[in-house]
Structure 1
Amino acid sequence: MIDYIKGELTELTPAIAVVEAAGVGYAMNISLNTFTAIQGKKEVKLYVHEAIREDAHVLFGFAAKKEREMFLLLITVSGVGPNTARMVLSSMSPAELCNSISTGNERMIKTIKGIGLKTAQRIIVDLRDKIVTLGITQEIPAGGSIEQPVNNQVKDEAVSALTMLGFSPAPSQKVVVKILQDNPAMPVELVVKMALKMIK
Structure 2
Amino acid sequence: MIAQLQGRLVEKNLTDVVIDCHGVGYLVEISLHTYSQLPDNEQCKLYTYMQVREDAHRLFGFAEKSEREIFKLLLSVSGVGANTARTMLSSVAPTQIAQAIASEDVRTIQSVKGIGAKTAQRVILDLKDKILQVLDNPEISIVASNTGRDEALSALETLGYARKQAQKVVDKILSNQPDATVEDLIKQALKQL
When the two structures are superposed, what TM-score results if normalisation uses the length of structure 2?
0.71
Larger CA deviation: 36-45 vs 5-14 = 36-45
Q: Does 1:63 align with 2:63?
A: yes
Superposed, which structure 2 residues align to 1:74-153 within 5 Å?
Answer: 74-137=74-137, 138-139=139-140, 142=143, 144=172
- Alpha-carbon distance, 1:32 to partner: 0.3
Q: Does 1:16 align with 2:44?
A: no
Give the residue type in structure 2 aligned to 1:129: D
In structure 2, the residue corresponding to 1:123 is in which secondary structure? helix
Take 2:142 and 2:121, find their aligned partners in 1: how far apart are those partners?
23
Take 2:83 and 2:71, find their aligned partners in 1: how far apart are those partners?
10
What are the Cα deviations for residues 75-101 of structure 1, in whole angstroms up to 9, with x where unaligned?
000000011100000011111001111
CA RMSD of aligned residues (A): 1.9
What are the Cα deviations for residues 89-144 of structure 1, in whole angstroms up to 9, with x where unaligned?
00111110011111111111111011111000001111111011113553457573
Counterpart position of 1:51: 51
Take 2:100 and 2:41, find their aligned partners in 1: how far apart are those partners?
31
Instruction: Return closer, same or farther for 1:99/1:139 CA change in 2, 3 Å cut-off.
Output: closer
Would the aligned equivalents of 1:98 and 1:136 in 2 still touch at CA under 8 Å? Answer: no
Give the residue type in structure 2 aligned to 1:42: E
Counterpart position of 2:187: none
When the two structures are superposed, what TM-score results if normalisation uses the length of structure 1?
0.69
Instruction: Return closer, same or farther for 1:131/1:141 CA change in 2, 3 Å cut-off.
Output: closer
Give the residue type in structure 2 aligned to 1:83: N
Take 2:24 and 2:57, find their aligned partners in 1: how far apart are those partners?
16
In structure 2, the residue corresponding to 1:60 is in which secondary structure? strand
Give the residue type in structure 1 aligned to 2:9: L
Would the aligned equivalents of 1:28 and 1:60 in 2 still touch at CA under 8 Å? Answer: yes
Would the aligned equivalents of 2:10 and 2:18 in 1 still touch at CA under 8 Å? Answer: yes
Larger CA deviation: 132-141 vs 29-38 = 132-141
Counterpart position of 2:163: none
- Where structure 1 has 5 or more consecutive residues not aligned to the other structure, the ranges are 148-200
Q: What is the percent sequence identity of the aligned residues?
A: 44
Take 2:109 and 2:140, find their aligned partners in 1: how far apart are those partners?
20
Take 1:28 and 1:63, find their aligned partners in 2: how far apart are those partners?
12
In structure 2, the residue corresponding to 1:144 is in which secondary structure? helix
Counterpart position of 1:29: 29
Take 2:4 and 2:24, find their aligned partners in 1: how far apart are those partners?
14
Take 2:5 and 2:91, find their aligned partners in 1: how far apart are those partners?
24
Take 2:10 and 2:76, find their aligned partners in 1: how far apart are those partners?
32
Give the residue type in structure 2 aligned to 1:64: E
Number of aligned positions between the proteins: 147
